[in-house]
Structures are given as structure tokens and as C-alpha cells.
Structure 1
């Protein structure tokens, strides 16, 4: 995918569709639809329903917390009607609020599932590390006026790589059945006044990255030594953990899927970091049982979908 291309407005798209979504989470109470507050899911479903002229239910690659942003949230849905690529994108964006946008849409096979098929998810947490408070970036970064040692933060963060019990970094109200997660990589780098935590894993617990960011900031400020993260992991106790960093600095930047789905490739966000030049899908996934199992799951679903009886084939046609 290039930065500029023409949306097709002649060929209606049939079957299941995947979409790339970007949003500023500042005024939303997270991605998931809620009865009592504004959510990104509701905004997208309402916009797609207006394009389709019928209700549309979406499924997302991950749920973000209140105030968290996304530059590549991947969703899928089974549309009740056929529309062209241009109609879905332009129509949805016309009906979406200014803080949510559809970036692309693509037909996918019926075994594609944005959440269950994701091989990895990637986030970036951004600190603006300067004496004066941010103005233009205030909704997209976390301000830290104390000097941060990014190299020390990076060294401390390597304790997180691999498969661990992340109980010390999960929120008290986390609903996950297990605290075990696998981190593919964690990098901390400084770009001028920006200190960026770049983290990718198979999945994340509630508030996990914000709790990691808070603990790494303590290392960067010199309040804790570089063994701080390793000790917290060993404790497996959130009550003995560090502070939770604000939501405004967190960005969901990528969901990784098997290459056979051929989802569009685009620059990793947010645009504050566009100068790094990295595009989605460039990192090699670890050769791990978790990744292999997820790949086998998607392939088995594809195989079973093709092994239908003549009666089933007639019913689906």
C-alpha cells in the first residue's frame, strides 16, 4: 500500500471485510461499546449502518482503554449489503466524528477474525521529556519534566521479553483468565525530546502497558535501578507494583496477521514518529509455540470451511 491511491468506485465488495481504523481516544471511554458512555465501537457501527442501510456489528483486534489512541486498529464485519471500496470508506468517514477515521477496507476470507487471528499486537507509549508543558502535542503524549535515561529504561525493559506472569502489571479489575503473556520485543529509544516505549506481544492485560510505562519512568528518572522491572515481575503482585502512566501517551499502532490475508501495509503511527520510517509488518515474529498455534488455528478454520457438504454449499451460495 502506498500513501496515495485511488479508491475503487465500480466493483461492489462481497463477503467479509477487514478495515483499518484510526482514532483519538481522548473523549471516548475506550473502544468497546458501552451503555452509559461514548465508545469508538458505537461510533463506527453507527457510521457503517448508515452506509449499509442496516445494522452492522464489528469485531476488533483489541480493546483499548479510555483515553488511549490507535493508528491501526483492525476490525472485521460481515456486511448486510455490497458497497464499493470508495462507498465504505467515504461513506463511513462522512458519518464518523472527526476523531475517528477509516483508513482502508479489504475483502478477506471467511476464516479471517480480527481478534482471534491476530498473531501479535504492537503499542507505542510516548513521553515528551522537556521542562515546559506540551501544547500542540498535549493530547498525544505524556509530559515528564524530569530527565529520563532512555538507555537505562531500555536495559531494564529487556526483563519483559519472553513469556511471563504479568500479574504485577495488570489492573485490579482485569478480566483475563490468565496473567501469562508473551512479549516479542520491548524497545525504549529517545528521539530528541521524545522517549518512546515500543512494545509488541501476543496480547496484553488491562492497563498492562501503562503500568509498564509507569515503572520504566521510575527507572528513567533514577528513582529505581535497572533491576526494578525484573523484581516486579518476580513479585507477581500488582499491589506492590509501580504507578500507572496516563492514557494519553499510549497508541495502538499495529495488529499482525498471517501473510496470506494480504492486509494493506502502512507507516506505523502516530505521525509524531513518522520520521522513523518503519512500516507495519517489517518485524519478524518469534518462532514460538503461541505464534505457531495461532497460525495453525487460522489454517484449520480455512480448511474446515472448504470441507462442506453439497447441501451446505447450496445453502451458502
Structure 2
């Protein structure tokens, strides 16, 4: 049954994990089912009234999340754990609430964000994967990981990323700051961990596509500074497939983002 009114409005912050395979992205839209829509429908069932989620951003069709942050307001009286567990009873198997916390009413999941961590997963096996087919991009040819690390180093810092955004990106400014790009190998899997203050549409996927071309020897590492300087999307790499991308974390205030150690001197595979 819906929770009873307790007379005071509160804001609840959710950390949401989802497999984006069957969704048209995070944001509600007319051309397909969205993760936001599914969570809002679960909230209606739990609370007995409709709410609109305000999120830390959006993910595209097929992109996954381990740490999407979204908030809603309600006057229904529930303890924090009950918000989490109650919502999970109404959600499908590919969406789950990992955390639910009461936060101040002036907290904004997007504008108060200090940064985001995206992980792109490559499968370097010569054989495609069946179990993880919706969560990685298979590259069957060897990659020069040291060349990729060198190319990635040019992207760290505050730059104009015009060359690394979708043609229909509507952002008012193309200047963004990347805090770090770590390339970490785990058996046949290669993780590209990109942390930054904010990202343009398709930015991480275009970065990955460009770094893969460097790894395949299709462009030199030194080409990356030229892309940043001249800002031509047509000269950058292909946009990597969406299913390899996952929003791992959004952090706020004094929170320290999770870190993955950078392995130097990675061998060719």
C-alpha cells in the first residue's frame, strides 16, 4: 500500500543501476520506453502519486549505468531503506535502486555534481563473447595499449572538445575538463575509465573510437592534439557502440570518486 502522508515534503536521492539494452535511453521520450519512465511508474505504485525525477544527466539508448543519480520530492512518510526496497519490488529485473537517501531540498543532482566516471569495456579476445555481448565492444585485432595511453594523455585537462561531440549536440559550450583517463586490462577485457567534470553528447564514445584507431595503428597518438586544436568531428574516430559504455558514478561535495589504478607498460595483446 502507498505510504501515508507525514505532512512534510522531503527530497529523496536515488542511485540507480540499469542494463540499458532494451531502453531508448534514460530520459522519457515518445519513441520508446526509457529508464526514467520505468522508475517513475514504480514510484507511482509505491507512493500513490506521480513524481518527476530530476537526474544528474542522461544516457543514450543501449548505454548502461551502475550509478545514475536522480531525485524526487514527496510528502509520503517512509524510512530510507523502505524507499529502496519498496521501489525494487515494482521494478523489472534490469533496473534496481542501489541506494535511497533523504537529502536537503536545495540539493540538485546535476548542478551540484563534482564529476562523473564513465567506463567503456572492450573485449580483446579473438572470439566474441556471448554472455557479455550487451556490455562490451569486441576488438579482434591486437591493440597497442602504450600508444593508446599516450594518446589519452593529450585529452586530460580542460580543452575544447568540438571534435569529440555528436553533430546534433546542443551544448552551449564545447569546453570540458577531463580529470583522468585510465586504461586497465583484466584478462581479455580492457577498461577505459574516463573521469571528468562533464561530457558532451557521444563524447566518451568518440574518445574511445579514436583511441581504438590509435591502438590499431590507423592514426598516430600525436593526431589527438590536432583534433583538439582544429575541432573537426569528421577527422576524429568513429563513435564506439553504446553497449560498451557504463555510467559508473556521479560524485558530490567532499566525496572522493572511486579510483582504479593505472597499469603502466601494458603489453600488446
Is TM (by shorter chain) over 0.5?
A: yes
Residue from 61, 66, 71 that aligns with 1:66: 61
State the TM-score, normalized to the length of structure 1.
0.77
Count of aligned residue pairs for this structure pair = 254
Distance in 2 (alpha carbons) for counterparts of 1:281 and 1:153: 23
Deviation at 1:80, TM superposition (A): 3.7
Distance in 1 (alpha carbons) for counterparts of 2:118 and 2:38: 22
Q: Counterparts in 2 of 1:5-154, with a 5 A limit? A: 15-154=10-149
1:130–1:147 contact (8 Å) kept in structure 2: no
> More displaced, 43-52 or 77-86?
77-86
Q: What RMSD, in angstroms, separates the aligned Cα atoms of the two structures?
A: 1.7
Are 1:243 and 2:238 counterparts?
Answer: yes
Distance in 1 (alpha carbons) for counterparts of 2:73 and 2:150: 44
Deviation at 1:29, TM superposition (A): 0.9
Distance in 2 (alpha carbons) for counterparts of 1:77 and 1:93: 16
1:5-62 residue CA offsets vs partner (Å, 9 max, x unmatched): xxxxxxx896211111000011111101112211011011110111100001111111
Deviation at 1:229, TM superposition (A): 1.7
Deviation at 1:192, TM superposition (A): 1.6
DSSP-derived class of the 1:119 partner: strand
Structure 1 outlier segments of 4+, above 2 Å: 84-87, 280-283
Residue 206 (structure 1) aligns with: 201
1:69–1:248 contact (8 Å) kept in structure 2: yes
2:26–2:61 contact (8 Å) kept in structure 1: yes
Structure 2 CA distance for partners of 1:134 and 1:185, relative to 1, 3 Å? same
Are 1:281 and 2:257 counterparts?
Answer: yes
Residue from 181, 185, 188 that aligns with 1:190: 185
Distance in 1 (alpha carbons) for counterparts of 2:85 and 2:12: 15
1:14–1:82 contact (8 Å) kept in structure 2: no
Distance in 2 (alpha carbons) for counterparts of 1:152 and 1:14: 53
Structure 2 CA distance for partners of 1:281 and 1:14, relative to 1, 3 Å? farther
Deviation at 1:104, TM superposition (A): 0.9
1:22–1:100 contact (8 Å) kept in structure 2: yes
Point out the structure with the larger helix share.
1
1:56-87 residue CA offsets vs partner (Å, 9 max, x unmatched): 11111111111000001111111241222233
Point out the structure with the larger strand share.
2
State the TM-score, normalized to the length of structure 2.
0.90
Structure 2 CA distance for partners of 1:162 and 1:178, relative to 1, 3 Å? same
Deviation at 1:282, TM superposition (A): 4.3
